[in-house]
Amino acid sequence: MTQLKTLISAFRLRTLPLSISGAVVGSSYAHILGFFDVVIFVLIILTTLSFQILSNLANDYGDGVKGTDNNSRIGPERALQSGAISPKQMKNAIIINALLSAILTLLLIYIAFGVSQLFTSLIFIVLGALSIYAAITYTVGKSAYGYRALGDLMVFLFFGWLSVMGTYFLFAKDLDVMLLIPASAIGCLSAAVLNLNNMRDLETDLKSNKITLAGYLGKKSSKTYHFALILSAIVLMLIFQYSISYSKFMYLSWIAFIPLIFHLKLVFFIKNPKDFDPHLKLVALSTFVLAILFATALIIENLHSE
């Protein structure tokens, strides 16, 4: 029972709402254009969650075996770090989750495209395989990109562009370049969550030879970068909202901007790295709330206009 509880804690449940934010935005846009399908939506959510859990397990394993997660680490104690889960058990959990992710990906692609759109299906199979590979190699292996200051870029691309644009394509079987705007906003907020994590762990990561973008930039510049990510996300969402709607219902989503703005004020004065930790949850949940409120506003406006 203790091992199961520890393994579930390794899923890092507080990161899961953030992971589906892009899918919510892409799905809501597909909905107002008449492309929405409940079965596809459920499979998208399940597949996305499986990718995120896989990434979290692999991150626990990779940082654990490399010694990056040690007693000097500031954040929550990890499963491997605690000793409750062995490296072999964690590796088995990663393999099982990778297989589950692959099955969900193939099922989603089959439901979305059937057998008639073989070329498109192959493209999404490749994207699914890349997602699984990226989830694992963030910290696992000698060439782990999370140790080479590439984590922020990958999070921006996978949580932002691929999540929003890929979700919409699964419904509409087409691309809409306008979605690059909200996709970039969600990508910026997702990268901001990672940056908070990296600012918190900056000193301990450097001691473990883990070079993150925050570590490369340093304490002062990583805060400036953080401000740029949050403010860019807000501006991008406002631009997209005004480009597709002038309805008062869109003001609803602005509620999510309030905690983000207060967050920036608080982060500016943080000196103790430990104080960054509560802000991870705040930004992650604010991103999810923004996605939900944006989707709600779109759907209400669409129903109101009919």
136-151 pLDDT, tens per residue?
999 998 889 999 999 9
Cα–Cα dist 1/42, whole Å: 29
- pLDDT tens-digit map of 93-106: 999 999 999 999 99
- pLDDT tens-digit map of 279-302: 999 999 999 999 999 999 888 877
Token digits for 125? 């199979």
| Position with higher pLDDT, 22 vs 83 | 22
Nearest to 138 by CA among 78, 60, 191: 60
- pLDDT tens-digit map of 116-135: 899 999 999 999 999 999 99
- pLDDT tens-digit map of 231-258: 999 999 999 988 886 567 778 889 999 9
From the CB of residue 103, how many other CB atoms can be counted at a distance below 10 Å?
12
pLDDT of residue 74: 74
Token digits for 238? 């406002």
pLDDT of residue 290: 96
On the 0-12 / 13-18 / 19+ scale of CB atoms within 10 A, 64 is buried
Token digits for 46? 């399940």
| Position with higher pLDDT, 183 vs 298 | 183
